[in-house]
Structure 1
Amino acid sequence: MTEVKRKVRLTTTQSVLDGAKPVAEGFPMREWAIVIHLLDEKGNEVPANCFDKVTYKLHPTFQNPNRVIKRPPFKLSEQGWGEFDMEIVLHSADKGGDHTIKHDLHFQQPKYDITTTI
């Protein structure tokens, strides 16, 4: 059986929510989002159609911390004040198995990309 390697790019964007009261002192409320693409052989982003769905495993303090998104670009949008590590499970189409990526949600940059090979 041939093993296929794919480059997956996670793009995270975040910004401070204007006018929202901080939940914790010194930690402003933010809106953030993550999208998932594949990279082609030239490094261009293409739709990640090889996945049936993506499960985001958020911090347990979130209401419904396991979020399932079923359409590319598998965008998850949320609001919160804290940084945390999460697991993102990519569910391959056609019985290709599941791939888990560890993701560090942080607020040091307004936008950042993480590229990994699965």
Structure 2
Amino acid sequence: MAEASAEVFPAAEQVAPRKRLDNTELVVPICYGTVAFWLGKKADEYHSHRWTVYVRSPSGEELNHIISKVVFKLHDSFMNPIRVVEAAPYELTETGWGEFEISITMHFTEDSGEKPIEIFHPLKLYEDAGSSIDRQSTKKPVVTEDYDELVFSEPVQDFYERVVNVKPAPAPSSELTQHLPVHNDAEELAKIKAARRSLAEQIAESRLQLELGEAT
């Protein structure tokens, strides 16, 4: 998993320190990935696929009580490669012909007291060699998705209480939903234990950098 963004935001002057909860974790499951459709007869040399990169909740709930915006960094060949999505669904759709790694930076709500976290996900347009799908289809997309957890260690008290005491609304409808994986909690728990440590370390490191910035 990629390290957290090194950017340090200027601290506001004379801001009282936020109270954090010792020996407490706030765990938020997330999914992020890409869905790519072959354009078929509409394809040309530079636009063979229509694809979408996204961040979502695996339970179909909104994430805007945690995430304030998502910044997607595309390949530099795209016009305006840095795209900002400030409301759910956190999706970005483009067309193109090549595969590349997409940077996904999640910014959290102001009351979280946390710095943004940057992760990476490869855009995949084609099935792997030897796949049971032997040809491209305009109706069946290529889907790659990671299930992960945001782990907030010693979260800000106000943020923690707000999140645990408010049931998120259902996420806005998306045409992608029918193509996305359904996750089994037991299987995913086994997969994410190692990744969870990584994200927890990123958030802890980001918080330390933020605190150091506020102290200067």
Instruction: Quickly name the TM-score band, shorter chain normalised.
Output: 0.7 to 0.9
The residue that corresponds to 1:21 in the other structure is 44
Which has more strand, going by share of residues? 1
Q: Work out the CA distance in 2 between the residues paired with 1:59 and 1:11.
A: 16
- 1:60 is paired with a residue whose SS is coil
Q: Which amino acid aligns with 1:106?
A: K
Cα pair 2:35 2:144 within 8 Å, conserved: yes
The ranges of structure 1 where at least 4 consecutive aligned residues each deviate by more than 6 angstroms after the TM superposition are: none
Can you give the 5+ residue segments of structure 2 that lack an aligned partner in the other structure? 1-19, 128-141, 151-216
**2:120 corresponds to which residue?**
102
Partner of 1:58: 74
CA RMSD of aligned residues (A): 1.7
1:114: how far off? 1.1
Aligned AA (2:63): A
Aligned length: 110
Query: What is the CA-CA distance between 1:96 and the residue it aligns to?
Result: 2.8
TM-score if structure 1 supplies the norm length? 0.82
Cα-to-partner distance string for 1:84-112 (whole Å, 9 max, x where unaligned):
01210000012432111111111235223
Structure that is richer in helix per residue: 2
Secondary structure, in 3 states, of the residue corresponding to 2:26?
A: coil
Q: Which has the larger radius of gyration?
A: 2
TM-score (norm 2): 0.47
